[in-house]
Structure 1
Amino acid sequence: MSQQPQSPVRVGIVGLGGIGHHHAERLTDLGETLVGGVDVVDEARERFEDEYDVPTFGTYEELYEADVDAVVVTTPNKFHEQYAVEALESGVDVLLEKPLANTLESAERIAEAAESADGFCMVGFNNRFNPGAEVFEAYQEEGRFGDITHVEANYVRRRGVPGRGGWFTTKEVSGGGALLDIGVHAIDLALHFLDFPEITEVTGETRSEFGGREDYTFLEMWGEDAEEIEFSVDDHATAFVRTADGQSISLEVAWATNRPPTNDFVIQGTEGGATFDRETGDLTIHEVNDVGANHFSDTEIDTREVDTHEREQEYFFDAVRAGEAPDRNTVEQALEVQRVIDAIYRSDEEGHAIQL
């Protein structure tokens, strides 16, 4: 990936909340050209204009007509389909924040639009750009771990509901709670480590135990509570996934729970294994050997600290410049993640395993 783009990509941001600003800061640091932004909220547009000195618009048509090469879509989940499909149909490349959509049906429509579009859509699973995850992938390709058989995927906050009463906790807009918000990262990384195998069965339970309580106790709020608290989503999910080749994934996801937080992915293979911490990027390789004497060895891998969103953007913009759809973070992979999420919710609702 290039450090200094030869020809800056002309980029628009759709959705000018916190994550929109986050992306705008990084793309300008990379030397790309921020053309403008779109948001339906007047105050959000005013803040964005003041901070970045670019025009903003109330409709996507105005932005897409402003000679943009690519857009970054950071709206609430319910509106992903509307903006991503319109961009693709307009010949604009799209970096779409996770998840792909708020429902499986909406995600499928985005995938259909991407398949027939001249441009491409890449989905924002930034954790894949963590150097620790990339080192694991490289060693895996060399065969160091043998056959990967099981991944234990954890993304657990002790208290981390992202503000009660906003769109994150309103099912009509978000599509789901902790499972759809942070669980997508855990599922995506687990499937990535397994090289996206064919999934045959999903069993899951979701719960809402903390977010709706008047006595919800916390030290720090991930977001901010609204004046009227609405909490119609899950704050905890547990699931088990089986594949056609006998591999499996155990999943634990929570915005809030009474246990220590964890971001560990424990990966088990026939020749070795690894523990990867999604938050810190720490990677430890676990092996056994009989050289000299039977022994266990745990190798700690040190890598540079990086901004994974910035590296994700850099990869995306290089693909835009090259006019070639990226091989990483594809719509097809994001759709598979969405299928697993949908199956977990259906398994909880119906009370049995879901066959895929």
Structure 2
Amino acid sequence: MRRGDSPVRVGIVGLGNIGHHHAERLTDLGETLVGGVDVVEEARERFADEYGVPTFETFDELDDAGVDAVIVTTPNAYHEQYAVAALEAGADVFCEKPLADTLDSAERIADAARDADGFCMVGFNNRFLPAAEVLKESIDDGQLGDVTHVEANYVRRRGVPGRGGWFTTKDVSGGGALVDIGVHAIDLALHFLDFPEIVEVSGQTRSEFGTREDYTYLSMWGDDAEEVAFDVDDHATAFVRTADGRTLSLEVAWAANRPPNNDFVVEGTEGGATFDRNDNALTLHEVGDGGADHFRDTSVETRDEDAHALEQEYFFDAVRESEPVERNTVEQALSVQRVIDAIYRSAEAGHAIAL
């Protein structure tokens, strides 16, 4: 039983790079890493060697070892399998973004979370960046007036994460740039808008760079496989309307012939803001008439913080208290998944999709 300040007993399912990323942070936070699960023997051996914990081929073996919480970092197509199993076993679940590879799968995870004794939190770490926290507080305090539009950009000049791996294979990932990085942009924009009711989505996806033999880049997050398989999008543009007349515009790309951009522009009736996710930088835009009519742009400085660690700390505190999270909820992640699904359906149909 979890009590007081005792460490949370944590298991990780999916022992690739993202699993290691979480393992490092949870051990730094003083939680107890019980073990890990992966179907690939080499991944299990590497994880066991690095962290000195047992690793297993199945979730049941991890469950038998005794865990309070499970972190799911598998490829997207397997989120449902392990998140639902962990919830049904009574564990609290942290599931990396996106919630699932398809909307149907995401809805099944949400159903399992509603019926479970534990809870499910989803990995949208950008909300925990200090500048993003300041911006959200400024919005909630009314400093910007009524927020009417958010422009969300997550554009890389060249940033396809290794062609031929699971990121670029639709059956495993569920999609390309839109699912991988667009999900962050959509979540943060909806977060700034307080997750409004969405009534219409219009979108277009493209695949212009991933299959090119002359794909030129300076660095790559992953590695190209021997066979360059690529059946997903590398670029998406979308426009979202809400029931109360507010809007969201989205530009996402793994690769584009333009400068990279990871800005979020928030427009309100009394002020606005520009948040640069890459630099954790925030600028507030205001006008005034004191002394003379003027424009005022204020730069906000915050500490440099590890948003992943802050996100984990919030999750583990909730596990310790046996209280559901109020941030990064499974219902919010389901809203993000609905927008992603609607963008793909709109691109295929060639017209806007009503929700």
TM over 0.5: yes
1:155-201 Cα offsets, whole Å, 9 max, x none, are 00000000000000000000000000000000000000000011000
Structure 1 distance, partners of 2:192, 2:141, is 14
Task: State the Cα distance separating 1:6 from its structure 2 match.
Answer: 2.3
Tell me what 2:252 maps to.
Answer: 253
Structure 1 distance, partners of 2:166, 2:87, is 25
Task: State the Cα distance separating 1:116 from its structure 2 match.
Answer: 0.5
Q: Report the secondary structure of 1:65's partner residue.
A: helix
Letter in 2 for 1:186: A
Task: State the Cα distance separating 1:109 from its structure 2 match.
Answer: 0.2
TM-score under structure 2 length normalisation: 0.99
Q: Report the secondary structure of 1:204's partner residue.
A: strand
Tell me what 1:6 maps to.
Answer: 5
Q: Percent identity?
A: 77
Q: Which runs of 4+ in 1 moved over 2 A?
A: none
Tell me what 1:105 maps to.
Answer: 104
Count of residues paired in the alignment: 352
Structure 2 distance, partners of 1:312, 1:188, is 15
Alignment RMSD: 0.6
Task: State the Cα distance separating 1:143 from its structure 2 match.
Answer: 0.7
Report if the CA contact (8 A) 2:5-2:320 is conserved: no
Structure 2 distance, partners of 1:176, 1:115, is 26
Alignment of 1:105-144 (within 5 A): 105-144=104-143
Task: State the Cα distance separating 1:222 from its structure 2 match.
Answer: 2.0
Tell me what 1:162 maps to.
Answer: 161
Structure 2 distance, partners of 1:242, 1:64, is 43
Task: State the Cα distance separating 1:279 from its structure 2 match.
Answer: 1.4
Alignment of 1:136-215 (within 5 A): 136-215=135-214
Alignment of 1:11-30 (within 5 A): 11-30=10-29
Letter in 2 for 1:175: G
Task: State the Cα distance separating 1:139 from its structure 2 match.
Answer: 1.4
> Which stretches in structure 1 are left out of the alignment for 5+ residues?
none
Tell me what 2:82 maps to.
Answer: 83
TM-score under structure 1 length normalisation: 0.98
Q: Report the secondary structure of 1:182's partner residue.
A: helix
Tell me what 2:32 maps to.
Answer: 33
Task: State the Cα distance separating 1:66 from its structure 2 match.
Answer: 1.0
Structure 1 distance, partners of 2:277, 2:120, is 24
Task: State the Cα distance separating 1:280 from its structure 2 match.
Answer: 1.2
Letter in 1 for 2:231: S
Letter in 1 for 2:15: L
Tell me what 1:347 maps to.
Answer: 346
Tell me what 1:55 maps to.
Answer: 54
> Which stretches in structure 2 are left out of the alignment for 5+ residues?
none
Q: Report the secondary structure of 1:209's partner residue.
A: coil
Letter in 2 for 1:311: L
